[in-house]
Chains A and B, each alone.
Chain A
């Protein structure tokens, strides 16, 4: 089955093409069913292909070569099937198919229903290309394609100016990261002469000086930061919430944004050779986590809370990968896909029920009206707050433990992570309490109801995964770690603390989480709802005005430059030159016109003068004169 793993890519790709032409004709819900089935089949194929890896009977990575592509760059169209890519594939196809099913109900009534699934399928195919690639070339192709899919899906409702702008912003900010990525690839190629993973990773320690490795990895960090919305390239993710909620769940929680984490984990060999970059990765992750968590506290829109939460959790993943706890980072990626995907889908359910209301301050008291949504969301809430035995606890804790154990300056990062954990619990609890507890605050004429089964089904599945998902890698039975071993055999993992230390650390972080929940309960349930206004809250709500800074510093000068070029450069100079040529010709004609006077004698004079000139020339040439 591994040999046909490329079907997982081909099927959604074919689906996208098919739905592009026939989606409208198929209509609801047929196009959705077609799309979901294709991804579902992909999931099954992946499961079957992963069995040998899981059971341990085959520990070697399999290279599935499709065809030779660019030999001069060392790139074949070949796919790599090892534990890491298998895990990513399972997440993408699994969570992806659930979200496809969810979308069948969510997108009901949308005039471009079929087109939505076209783009969704395209995205799945692109993401699979990214994670299954056997060399940097394929990875980059997938990288760019998911960027494209993200753009198409964010601006799906493009008639809304803010949606169109958000799509553009995502693409452009991604592009900045991609630039770093590309330069890194160029350096890699110039050092190794090839872009194949095998070649690069096996020869890395031999060929790379620390300086070169640092340069490469820092640039890779730029690329990853762009794709995974880390500081300072995080600004596109909150705006990306303009897209439909399934899009936010799939792309901006579970999969696309994790591409940066995946890429960093995959290239762990290079980061190992550049300790400075690894530290930089972890630091960026930690700072981003804290930064985003504080902003999430001040958000009113339920989806924006989740967006900043995603940024924050991605920061955790970067922290893990930067601290060489690759398994921990990837583990958190896995659990985050479950509970964040669930959170977004459930939020979508709430928004759907409240007729597209997204302001939490206009919700309230929904737990009685939407019990299924509520129950599943509770599971996600506890998971993200790091409460055992839910999934988030295990993964987040492992990251914190490893970070603390590395000692020295890493303890500072641990403190940041701890504070962030507390904040995470706080703002998530705030979200829950405002939405589901208290008195109803929604507008007149809104009748919230539970969502249909196509929407609640995936919620339940994801809730189950959020509850038990963490058990794949507990200190008692680190199954995931064993599973991922072959993928990381070239790197040294960071040491996981043994003995009592991890339990103490766990206790501390759980305490932080509980504290956050408790404080939120006090603030939003037991007392009257506070007024959260004022300069400080505004600053939080606007994300410390980073967007405005970018606007003033970059966007406005760029626009000025463009206006200058268009209205001065083009209109005045270029057009002026063209007009000037015309004017010149007219002027010359005006000056020359009197020569044609219509008077024969003037013409005769001209002729005579010409004859004189000619005779003169002949004589000079002939040597008779001069």
Chain B
């Protein structure tokens, strides 16, 4: 059988859900961040697959943009994590509940 776009979509869905679970289940800020990266990658896969299916280059362009933004986001996010770690000496997000109601 041949690989259709649907397979890539399904794979993207699976990777996305794995990333989401990682985000919800892990306490370590860095691991949570990595889960987010995984989710972004999954979305990129679906973009590219869709672009191929439709015969457009737009999917790849979108993927590039996502990548760029993700890179910027990682930069800033890690800087924040470092600052927070300096202040509190912990990377567990459960400790950072100062915004509780």
Contact = CB atoms under 8 A, between A and B. Distances in A.
Interface of A: 593, 595-601, 604-605, 608
Contacts of B25: 601
A599 B101 CA distance: 11
Contact of B23 (A593, A597, A598, A604): A604
B54 to A, nearest CB: 20
Given A596-B99, A599-B100, 12 more contacts: A593-B101, A596-B100, A597-B100, A598-B97, A598-B98, A598-B99, A599-B97, A600-B32, A600-B96, A601-B93, A604-B23, A608-B20
Contacts of A596: 99-101
A266 B101 CA distance: 80
B101 A604 contact: no
B24 interface: yes
A599 B93 contact: yes
A610 to B, nearest CB: 12
A601 B94 contact: yes
A542 to B, nearest CB: 71
B77 to A, nearest CB: 13
Contacts of B96: 598, 600
A598 B24 contact: no
B29 to A, nearest CB: 9
Contacts of B101: 593, 595-598
Q: 5 tightest A-B contacts by CB? A: A598-B97, A598-B100, A596-B101, A598-B99, A600-B93
A605 B99 contact: no
A599 B94 contact: yes
Contacts of A599: 93-94, 97, 100
Nearest to B23: A604
A593 B93 CA distance: 20
Interface in B12-64: 20, 23-25, 27, 32
Nearest to A597: B100
B24 A604 contact: yes
Contacts of B94: 599, 601
A593 B32 CA distance: 26
B32 to A, nearest CB: 8
Contacts of A605: 24
12 contacts: A596-B101, A597-B97, A597-B100, A597-B101, A598-B98, A598-B100, A599-B97, A600-B93, A601-B23, A601-B24, A601-B27, A601-B93
Nearest to B101: A596
A600 B97 CA distance: 8
Interface string B69-101: 000000000000000000000000110111111
Contacts of B24: 601, 604-605, 608
A274 B18 CA distance: 100
Contacts of B32: 600
A264 B99 CA distance: 83
Nearest to A599: B97
A599 B20 CA distance: 16
Contacts of B100: 596-599
A597 B20 CA distance: 20
A598 B98 CA distance: 6
A453 B98 CA distance: 93
Nearest to B94: A599
Contacts of A598: 96-101
B46 to A, nearest CB: 14
A596 B99 CA distance: 8
A588 to B, nearest CB: 13
A169 B27 CA distance: 81
Contacts of A601: 23-25, 27, 93-94
A593 B99 CA distance: 12
Contacts of B23: 601, 604
A63 B27 CA distance: 100
Contacts of B98: 598
A600 B101 CA distance: 13
A601 B35 CA distance: 13
A316 to B, nearest CB: 84
A267 to B, nearest CB: 76
B49 to A, nearest CB: 19
A595 B27 CA distance: 19
A608 B98 CA distance: 22
A596 B25 CA distance: 18
A31 B58 CA distance: 100
Contacts of A600: 32, 93, 96
Contacts of B93: 599-601
A604 B94 CA distance: 12
Contacts of B27: 601
A186 to B, nearest CB: 63
Which residue, A600, A605, A608, has most C-beta atoms of chain B within 10 A? A600
Contacts of A593: 101
